[in-house]
Amino acid sequence: MEAPNPIKKDGMTMTENHKRALRERDALRAEVESYHGMLAIMHGDGGHYRQEHGHDKAKTDALSKYYALLAEVAELRGENSFLLAGSDGNSEIARQLRAEVEELKEQDEAHRDHIDMLHRDQKPLLDNFAALKAKSAKLAEALEKVIPLQGDCEAWGKQEMASIINAYAGYATEALASRNEPTEKEQDNV
């Protein structure tokens, strides 16, 4: 059995038309993805701006950013041209810039030395901190053992204090009683 003849349109079979349409579709998809990628780059995101604000706003804002960047580049080129015009090394601006660069280098070196010193000084402090932390952990562990004994100590302390107070009270009573009794001299005078 022979395969049926495909229907022809514009001198091409439907299979050929279908293949051509698929190629065109794939080309359009690639173009759209390229456009989306360009917008994502201009907005500095992964396409979120376009999804949030739509194609038209994303395109308009991207063009605004592009023209702002072009203006900034032109301004920088103008400044660069001005600086290069005096770059023979003899201009006042060139001398000032070299002096500022040297001063910044010296400051940077001083800052680096200071940072190195801080790192050196910090090492013993960190070691001491680690040792103190270990000691505090041991103290906390010891306290956990001592705290249950606190109640026993308080009870013992109260009993001991009561016996001391009773003893002093006894001594005080005896002392007061002995003051009320007349001494031998006082009895002789009576």
Q: What does the pLDDT look like over 94-110, one tens digit per residue?
A: 778 888 888 888 888 88
Distance, in Å, from the CA atom of 58 to the CA atom of 49, rounded to the nearest integer, reads 7
Q: Is 82 helix (H, G, I), strand (E, B) or coil?
A: helix
Same domain membership, residue 108 and residue 75: no
In a domain, 186, yes or no: no
In a domain, 120, yes or no: yes
Name the packing angle between helices 55-85 and 14-43 (round to 10°): 50
The predicted structure's pLDDT at residue 36: 86
Q: Of the given ranges (42-51, 102-111, 151-160), which has the lowest mean pLDDT?
A: 151-160
In a domain, 73, yes or no: yes
In a domain, 77, yes or no: yes
In a domain, 181, yes or no: no
pLDDT band at 10 (very low <50, low <70, confident <90, very high): low
Q: Are the beta carbons of 169 and 177 closer than 8 angstroms?
A: no
When divided into structural domains, the chain yields a total of 2
The predicted structure's pLDDT at residue 64: 87
Looking at 85, 105, 120, the residue that finishes a domain is 85
Domain that holds residue 105: 90-146
In a domain, 7, yes or no: yes
Same domain membership, residue 8 and residue 74: yes
pTM value? Answer: 0.35
Q: Are the beta carbons of 62 and 68 closer than 8 angstroms?
A: no
